[in-house]
């Protein structure tokens, strides 16, 4: 069963500020799921993301890359 983390739990786990976690999630820089107005994170996906050392490919990041849009 997946371990789902809140923004606060993930911020503590990664030793980052909660606002930073939300910005990263919104930008598609960290694997996340938005449920209503809150972000949730699968610990296994986060651990894999850290191990790979690469940002996840998301619709937001691939759309910006395809159109050449700046962020």
Domain boundaries in the chain? 4-62
Q: Which two tokens stand for residue 29?
A: 């820089």
Give the span between the Cα atoms of 15 and 50, in whole angstroms. 13
Is 64 a residue whose pLDDT tops 50? no
Q: How confident is the model at residue 2 (pLDDT cuts 50, 70, 90)?
A: confident
Burial 8-29 (b: 16+ CB within 10 A, else e): ebbbeebeeeeeebbebbeebb
* Phi, psi of 34, rounded to the nearest 5 degrees: -100, 125
Residue-wise pLDDT for 16-63, tens only, equals: 999 999 999 999 999 999 999 999 999 999 999 999 886 555 655 444
Q: How confident is the model at residue 1 (pLDDT cuts 50, 70, 90)?
A: confident
Residue 60 contacts residue 28 (beta carbons within 8 Å): yes
Instruction: Return the pLDDT at 71.
Output: 45
Fold of domain 4-62:
Multidrug-efflux Transporter Regulator; Chain: A; Domain 2 (1.10.1660)
């Amino acid at each position: 069963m997946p371990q789902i983390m809140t923004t606060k739990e993930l911020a503590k786990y990664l030793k980052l500020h909660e606002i930073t976690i939300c910005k990263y999630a919104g930008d598609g820089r960290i694997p996340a799921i938005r449920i209503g107005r809150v972000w949730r994170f699968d610990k296994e996906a986060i651990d894999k993301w850290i191990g790979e050392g690469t940002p996840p490919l998301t619709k937001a990041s691939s759309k910006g890359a395809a159109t050449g849009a700046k962020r």
